[in-house]
Chains A and B, each alone.
Chain A
Amino acid sequence: MLDLVHLVLFTFLAVVAVAIIRLKDLFAAVMLMGIFSLLSASLFTVMDAVDVAFTEAAVGAGISTILMLATLALTDSEEHPEHNKFQAMPLIAVVLTGVTLVFATFDMPRYGDPDAPIHQYVAPYYIEHTEEEIGVPNMVTAILASYRGYDTWGETTVIFTACVGVMLLLGGHAIVDRFRRRKPPGREGEP
């Protein structure tokens, strides 16, 4: 039964992915990308990774779609391809990469395999000690915020840095002037 659900979701994923590539109407493509994220979120839910599914639904289907729609409002919602010629080189590169990736999956442990290396290292410690050491029912939160607090701290700083970068690049001299505590040039002479 579960295999059937996986199969249906993966098939839908593939169909939606091909549709996104072939669509010329960017508005529909953005909507399909949201659906793609929602399908991925469903897959993660079926695989019992609820927190990942939640993030995928909030980021992929939620804010990415909104940001893409906002971009379309600034630009054009129709794709105008520059060249329609068939090119062999990109196809070869893509096929080679794809074959390599598929080949690499043969070495991966089976999904849910308890003997997989990932379940041998620190995971048993977290599973056994979260209850007494942290006392938080959601183990994912305990690992993210407490055991791996440094990593999350780093992630927060990365988001902060990204915001500062966007502000400096797009905010222009208005922001730079404000932090140098001087009046923007050319404003005094204006009527």
Chain B
Amino acid sequence: MISHLIPRVLSKLLIPLIMLFALYVQFHGDYGPGGGFQAGVIFGSGIILYALLFGLDEAKEVFRPRVLEILVALGVVLYGGVGVAAIFAGGNFLAYSALAHEPTHGQHLGILLVELGVGTTVAAVMATIFFQFAGRGRTDD
């Protein structure tokens, strides 16, 4: 990896802000534009930017592929879990109104958790796909 001093220094400043912005988009999706998908993509591009500038091995140290794999599945499980929880609470699959005493509170909770599931999956998928493409042909895990 060639040393690019200025991009590295700048990215060290920017990557935390990118990830913070992703979290803002994630949890502010109820009130403004945004949501799980956009937040996941922004978070994922933060990870990929890190990998581009500091090398694949360094990035895999920070964002371990095994953890990312678990997160990929965890997001889907969280989404489905909210749906199943709604069934146990007496509603239909993904009918969040049953999740709390007040229907709108249930909707708030359901939407928040579901968006979190989408965000987790998308961010982990973006990073995993990039790691797979960039590490193509290497024998290590």
Contact = CB atoms under 8 A, between A and B. Distances in A.
A163 B103 CA distance: 35
A128 B115 CA distance: 23
Interface in A153-186: 153, 155-157, 159-160, 162-163, 166-167, 170-171, 174, 178
Interface of A: 50-51, 53-55, 58-59, 62-63, 66-67, 69-71, 73-74, 132-138, 140-142, 144-146, 149-150, 152-153, 155-157, 159-160, 162-163, 166-167, 170-171, 174, 178
B90 to A, nearest CB: 17
Q: Which 9 A-B residue pairs are closest in the complex by CB-CB distance? A: A135-B104, A149-B94, A50-B33, A163-B125, A145-B111, A170-B132, A58-B41, A63-B45, A134-B107
Contacts of A159: 121-122, 125
A150 B72 contact: no
Interface in B54-70: 69
A132 B75 CA distance: 28
Contact of A138 (B29, B73, B104): B29
- Size band of the B side of the interface? 35 or more
Interface string B125-141: 11011101110100101
A146 B111 contact: yes
Contacts of B31: 136-138
A133 B104 contact: yes
Which of A53, A55, A63, A170 lies at the interface centre, i.e. has the most chain B CB atoms within 10 A of its CB?
A63
B128 A163 contact: yes
Contacts of A132: 104
A138 B118 CA distance: 17
A170 B136 contact: yes
B85 interface: no
Interface of B: 25, 29-38, 41-42, 44-45, 48-49, 52, 69, 72-73, 75-76, 79-80, 83, 94, 96-97, 103-104, 107-108, 110-111, 114-115, 117-118, 121-122, 124-126, 128-130, 132-134, 136, 139, 141
B32 A162 contact: no
A188 to B, nearest CB: 15
A140 B97 CA distance: 18
10 contacts: A53-B33, A55-B38, A63-B126, A69-B52, A136-B107, A136-B111, A138-B32, A141-B35, A156-B76, A163-B124
Given A58-B38, A58-B41, A66-B45, A156 B30 contact: no
B127 to A, nearest CB: 10
Contacts of B141: 174, 178
A120 B110 CA distance: 28
B30 A136 contact: yes
Contacts of B97: 133
Nearest to B41: A58
Contacts of A63: 41, 44-45, 48, 126
B76 A66 contact: no
A166 B76 contact: no
Contacts of B45: 58, 62-63, 66
